[in-house]
Structure 1
């Protein structure tokens, strides 16, 4: 149950941001950071983004739905 806004999102607009994240995490792994710690930090950053936009209340339902999709091996965007 992703949040709904006024206009649909063109996910291609996030390509540059995604590339920066990927490059940064790749560099951290090459420098010896454990993948589990990087993933934990990334989850923390996600929580901060939801907090920043006042969407923290949506997280429990979102995480429940996400867990169901993971358990059912559903492809997630």
Structure 2
């Protein structure tokens, strides 16, 4: 059987920025303050982010800026 290697760069050529925010605020309050300060409209998605082997889920807020072709995502890193 032949072995082949896949390079991540073959699949992903998107340019993105990643920011980490450490806060004691609840996820919905952080989304509210980001919306207010940045002039965006993060909205809670209907479904949370779930993993097969995990008992928890992570809330997801999203805003799509169509005029600038940007997608903003806020993902909680605390189990709900």
TM-score (structure 2 length as normaliser):
0.28
TM-score (structure 1 length as normaliser):
0.28
Q: Identify, as 1 or 2, the structure richer in helix.
A: 1
Tell me which of the two structures has the higher relative contact order, counting C-alpha pairs closer than 8 angstroms and 6 or more residues apart: 1
Q: Identify, as 1 or 2, the structure richer in strand.
A: 2
